[in-house]
Amino acid sequence: MNHPRRPLLFLAAVALALLLAASHATAQVNWPAFLAREDLVWTKIPRTWEESAFIGNGNLGATIFAQSGALAWEINRADVYHDGSRYPMGRLALRAAGTVTGGDMRLDLWNAEARGTLHTDRGEIRWRSFTATTPSAIVIELDGADGEKDVDVTWIPALARPPRTVYRRQEFAPDELHPPAEVHATAGGLTSVQRFLGGGAFTVVVKHAAPADGKKLIYVSVGRGDTADAALADAQAAADQAAALGLEKVTEAHRAWWHAYYPASFLSIPDARLEAFYWIQIYKLGSAMRPDGPILDLMGPWFRATPWPRIWWNLNAQLTYSPLFTANRLPLAESLFDALDRHRQQLIDNVPPPLRAEAAAIGRTSDQSLVSPVDLAEAKGDSGREMGNLPWVMFLYWEYYRCQMNDAILRDRVLPLLSRTVGNYLAYVEKGSDGRYHLPPTFSPELATVADCNYDLALLRWGLQTLIASCEHLHLDDPHLPRWREVLANLTPFPTDASGLMVGRDRPLRESHRHYSHLLAIYPLHLLTPDQPDDLKLIGTSLHNWDSRPEKFRGFSYTGAASMYAMLGDGDTALDRLHLLLDRVIKPNTLYTEAGPVIETPLSAATSLQEMLLQSWGGKLRVFPAIPAAWRDVSFATLRGEGAFLVSAVRHDGQTAWVRIESLAGEPCRVVVRDWKNAVIRAASPDAKTAGSATGGNGEFDVTLPRNAWIVLAPSADVPLPGLEPVATPAAAQNPYPMHYK
């Protein structure tokens, strides 16, 4: 007997199940099991910073590896600067009775906890460690067996010398010869007080808590202050609070934060190494940022000898924060944007006094105070002519707004500073005999000082367009509008030649150049797009000219190239560039150095991967825009796009199976799914059923949704829809981290 209703009932059940799952897009993921496959696993004790386990809470942290024959926690706090520089603090070394003969370690991403076993010729030591957020303390639990029951730790303070001077092996100035740290034993542990010449101090407190079950429990905190007493009080308060709460409550609060953090978004790809790399970067962001924490500089909580002990603003800060938006982890970005708001007057003071009524800027480097003057008229070197740093940061601030569509952020925070940022350019533009506005010589980062520098022209053009569009959106009659419109209408075109975008006027790109500063109009600003035939040709020519000269490329060169190929829809080449990055320059534990730590490169690789799965520039949500041919199955959930959309999608057997769009702001939405001719609504929230729609064809669809409504689209009405879950990887393909581990 035929049962014609059974297929319909089955499809209805599938649609209902998908609808319920889509309402909680990452709820189907077994997070502990999924992240366990991304953990870093060591079969022997790491011996270098590049191999270490790393833990942190957005400010305080440690790298864990063997030093001088003992497992050690290298301790640092990211907001401790002196005279504009980070400083080493010291290490807490495990004091074993016997000689170490081996061991293993694991970095448990789900619980943000490192743990391991250390074997000695006298016994065994089991340990675990994490960095709690509240209170801000590193927790170390030790459990010794046999002849190691009395295992303990010892504090070894670092010599306080400026890292840049140390790296360059220069002679120390008298004011750089800070006194040694003063270490004092206490009833419950020890204190280590480091005073700086000229004022300021930091203090490390190591506190032993009451043992439980024969285990030793240690809390480590770091305080800072204008005086040693203030620094000690800061550190002591955190350690005392941790001890008062007890391990169970501290652990519970720590895990609650992380277990809420991860499900903000999800992605899974059939490349075990790259998938693990991505999730380690998400862990790294959560370990190195907090909304109320310091700006993430080049090393965050994980100090290492370095010539780069500050914040760099000509690419590093921008790439560091770039993965947060699509990853739907916007609160962490407040560590940057809140700092811009709090230090707005300093950004104004960074320009010459005659310009301070209308302008703001930041130079190449700064500490957390953002003091970094820019004076084009008095510049004595290339760094003094770097005009584009704050404008590029403002592009991120604009993205932060666009991913939320909260007009208060635009009106009260972004626009006032963006107006001043563009105002710094307008103080220098000059109208030439051709009737066009031109820029005087400015510095294209890491290459050349040149007039009509494409780096700055792109940022000026983007800034003017954004200011005008924002005023129109907010219905503001800003007195600067006539000037903005006039300059934009008459701004000189980007200098080009037969090889594409030039560095600037009369200056072609004729050498290997690791920075893609001259290509900013392509990426990330999207002023030139592949949607326009003329732009597409120029993009291709420019990208080939740059990418075909890789001799001086560094890690971020590969991530920039990957993102630009993803923009062109070339997933295979984008993937190749990411594999080159992992093969050639990423350290075994996914950290990265160029002489010293530069954290932005692996984080920007996470951005490049996101852009292979979802792009949202130009008013369109592009779903699976650059998937490599070998990736037959891909899934992601609640990635965030411009216009305040949360997007989830599944690609199965080489085809896009379904796409879920949730509108947080009720903005217009155009969805691009290139392998679809048509789209039908398979499930929707109640308000979307009455007020939502999807129209169009040939891969582009206009979706109308009220605020907080969602809709699930598929290419047909009768094909069963696969669930959202981690994709399978071949049994032989396993997470290799830490890579190249010896």
DSSP letter string over 460-528?
Answer: HHHHHHHHHHHHHHHT---TTHHHHHHHHHTBPPPPEETTEE-SBTTB---S--S--GGGTTTTTT-SS
Cα end-to-end distance, the chain, whole Å: 66
Amino acid 713: pLDDT: 96
Cβ-contact 539, 409 below 8 angstroms? no
Phi and psi based region of residue 643 (left: phi greater than 0; alpha: psi -120 to 50; beta: remaining): left
Work out the average pLDDT over 286-292: 97
pLDDT tens-digit readout, 169-200: 999 999 999 999 999 999 899 999 999 999 99
Q: How far apart are CA 479 and CA 468, in angstroms?
A: 11
- Is residue 742's pLDDT more than 80? no
Q: How far apart are CA 192 and CA 196, in angstroms?
A: 13
- Is residue 1's pLDDT more than 70? no
Q: Which of 209-223, 374-388, 562-576, 724-738 shows the lowest per-residue confidence on average (mean pLDDT)?
A: 724-738
Task: Give how far Cα 508 sits from Cα of 387, 449, 458, 518, Å.
Answer: 20, 12, 16, 10
Task: Give how far Cα 178 sits from Cα of 82, 158, 199, 307, Å.
Answer: 11, 11, 10, 19
Cβ-contact 567, 561 below 8 angstroms? no
Q: CA 245: distance to chain centroid?
A: 32
Q: What percent of the chain has pLDDT over 90?
A: 90
pLDDT tens-digit readout, 49-58: 999 999 999 9
- Is residue 9's pLDDT more than 60? no
- Is residue 24's pLDDT more than 70? no
Radius of gyration of the chain from its Cα atoms, rounded to whole angstroms:
27
Phi and psi based region of residue 83 (left: phi greater than 0; alpha: psi -120 to 50; beta: remaining): left
Amino acid 271: pLDDT: 95
More confidently predicted of 29 and 733? 29
Q: Which of 184-198, 320-334, 694-708 shows the lowest per-residue confidence on average (mean pLDDT)?
A: 694-708
Amino acid 210: pLDDT: 78
Residues in contact with 584: Cβ distance below 8 Å, sequence separation at least 6, in sequence order: 558
Cβ-contact 589, 53 below 8 angstroms? yes
- Is residue 3's pLDDT more than 70? no
Average of per-residue pLDDT values in the chain: 94
Amino acid 380: pLDDT: 80
Instruction: Please report which confidence band the pLDDT of residue 617 belongs to, taking 50, 70 and 90 as the band edges.
Output: very high
Instruction: Please report which confidence band the pLDDT of residue 212 belongs to, taking 50, 70 and 90 as the band edges.
Output: low
Cis peptide leading into residue 738 (ω within 30°): yes
- Is residue 96's pLDDT more than 70? yes
Work out the average pLDDT over 468-496: 98
Query: Which tokens is 686 given?
Result: 């109640």
Cβ-contact 503, 509 below 8 angstroms? yes
Work out the average pLDDT over 276-280: 98
pLDDT tens-digit readout, 296-317: 999 999 999 999 999 999 999 9
Work out the average pLDDT over 504-525: 96
Q: How far apart are CA 555 and CA 594, in angstroms?
A: 9
- Is residue 223's pLDDT more than 70? yes
- Is residue 16's pLDDT more than 60? no
- Is residue 637's pLDDT more than 90? yes
Amino acid 379: pLDDT: 86
- Name the pTM for this structure: 0.95
Q: How far apart are CA 731 and CA 81, in angstroms?
A: 47
Instruction: Please report which confidence band the pLDDT of residue 625 belongs to, taking 50, 70 and 90 as the band edges.
Output: very high
Q: How far apart are CA 271 and CA 258, in angstroms?
A: 25
User: Shortest CA distance to 286 belongs to which of 223, 329, 249?
Assistant: 329
Query: Which tokens is 647 given?
Result: 């997007």
pLDDT tens-digit readout, 382-422: 888 999 999 999 999 999 999 999 999 999 999 999 999 99
Residue with tokens 């970067």: 281
Cβ-contact 85, 168 below 8 angstroms? no
Phi and psi based region of residue 95 (left: phi greater than 0; alpha: psi -120 to 50; beta: remaining): beta
Cβ-contact 103, 25 below 8 angstroms? no
Q: How far apart are CA 679 and CA 598, in angstroms?
A: 44
In degrees, rounded to 5, the angle at the alpha carbon of residue 118 between the alpha carbons of residues 112 and 120 is 170
User: Shortest CA distance to 115 belongs to which of 131, 100, 101, 104?
Assistant: 104
pLDDT tens-digit readout, 151-160: 999 999 999 9
Name beta bridge partners: 37.
Answer: none
